[in-house]
Amino acid sequence: STDLTSTVGYDSIIQHLNDGRKNCKEFEDFLKERAVIEEKYGKELINLSKKKPCGQTELNTLKRSLDVFKQQIDNVGQGHIQLAQTLREEAKKMEDFREKQKLHRKKIELIMEAIHKNRNLQYKKTMEVKANMLLFLALAVTRALLYFSPLPHFWQLFLKLAQTKSALEDSDRSYQQNVTALEKIREEWQKEHIKACEFFETQECERINYFRNALWLHVNHLSQDCVQNDEKYEEIRKSLEKCSVEKDVDFFVNLRKTGSMAPAPVVYENYYNAQRNVTPVRSPAPVPISRRGPLPTPTSAPGE
């Protein structure tokens, strides 16, 4: 601004820097909230995998697949808890960066506030001296006109004119001194203002770069978490590939088998009439139970 006492440009810069600090705080709070969500989700997954039954009476290969499934779900939960801790560390780094910039900027702001105050006081003082000088000048002109007027009390007017001339000279000298002092303050302010702007620009470039990198790092952590989760789910898929329907059925049969012979037919025995000639029914030789063919491979219908 062309107005020497105006701070509109400086105030605009400070407002922009404060907005940038506020934006960093908002991202910091976002990370903290996300950390709370991730931690809660991770703990819920762990509780689910440990406390909720999931095929606990299964046998053999399918049982092993289910064990891998529950273990990997537990690992996924642990991964979310670790991600929550990582997000908190990111938030802490952002907070430290924000506070560091605030402290450094505060020093410059204090210097600028002091120099603005000094500049405005000197400007006000200079303008007051200038106004007094103009007042004395007007009074001197008036008395000079009266000096040449045919009025009585000539000597009194002459004395007042001399006094006014002396006061005018003093006022003019004071005015010059204040203008000189104001110019020195103006030059100092302008130099400090330029230094402050350069410092603020450096800080703003640093903030934007840090903010951008922090966001990039945050997304990388999320991507890494997804990759790690997919690796855990891949372990479940590998375990299911080893699951054999035929082996599990054979395992159950061998575990619970009661024998390989079917029960023999019940034979009638005559306990009532000894004279009655009953030909005993002879039971056929027991026939071993044959196993059926291999089970078909399970298939999934569309959408299952």
pLDDT tens sequence across 88-100: 999 999 999 999 9
The tokens for 35 are 């950390």
Q: In the prediction, which pLDDT does 94 show?
A: 96
Q: Using CA atoms in the order 42, 43, 44, 45, what is the torsion angle rounded to 10 degrees?
A: 50
Q: Whole-angstrom Cα distance, residue 117 to residue 129?
A: 18
Q: In the prediction, which pLDDT does 154 show?
A: 47
For 205, residues 6+ apart whose C-beta sits below 8 A from its C-beta are none
- Say which residue the tokens 């009074």 belong to: 139
3-state class percentages of the chain: helix first, strand second, coil last, to nearest 5: 75, 0, 25
CB 60 within 8 A of CB 252: yes
Q: Domains in the chain, ordered, with CATH?
A: 8-247 (1.20.1270.60)
Q: In the prediction, which pLDDT does 47 show?
A: 95
Q: Whole-angstrom Cα distance, residue 10 to residue 109?
A: 10
193: alpha, beta or left, given left = phi > 0 and alpha = psi -120 to 50? alpha
Eight-state DSSP code of residue 52:
S
pTM as predicted:
0.71
Question: Tens-of-pLDDT digits for all 304 residues of the chain?
Answer: 788 888 899 999 999 999 999 999 999 999 999 999 999 999 999 999 988 888 888 889 898 999 999 999 999 999 999 999 999 999 999 999 999 999 999 999 999 999 999 989 988 888 888 887 777 676 666 655 555 555 455 445 555 556 666 767 777 788 888 889 889 999 999 999 999 999 999 999 999 999 999 999 999 999 999 999 999 999 999 999 999 999 999 999 999 898 888 888 988 888 777 665 555 555 555 555 555 555 556 566 666 5
Q: In the prediction, which pLDDT does 143 show?
A: 55
Q: Whole-angstrom Cα distance, residue 236 to residue 247?
A: 19
Q: In the prediction, which pLDDT does 214 show?
A: 94
The tokens for 26 are 């908002």
Residue among 38, 63, 39 nearest 53 (CA): 63
Provide the 3-class DSSP secondary structure of residue 166: helix
Q: Whole-angstrom Cα distance, residue 77 to residue 40?
A: 9
Residue among 100, 85, 90 nearest 219 (CA): 90
- β-strand partners of 261: 288
Q: Whole-angstrom Cα distance, residue 260 to residue 290?
A: 9
The set of long-range contacts for 97-102, using a CB threshold of 8 Å and a minimum separation of 24, is 97/24, 97/207, 97/210, 98/21, 98/24, 98/25, 98/28, 101/21, 101/203, 101/206, 101/207, 102/21
Q: Whole-angstrom Cα distance, residue 79 to residue 283?
A: 67
Residue among 108, 152, 142, 148 nearest 13 (CA): 108
Q: Whole-angstrom Cα distance, residue 240 to residue 65?
A: 6
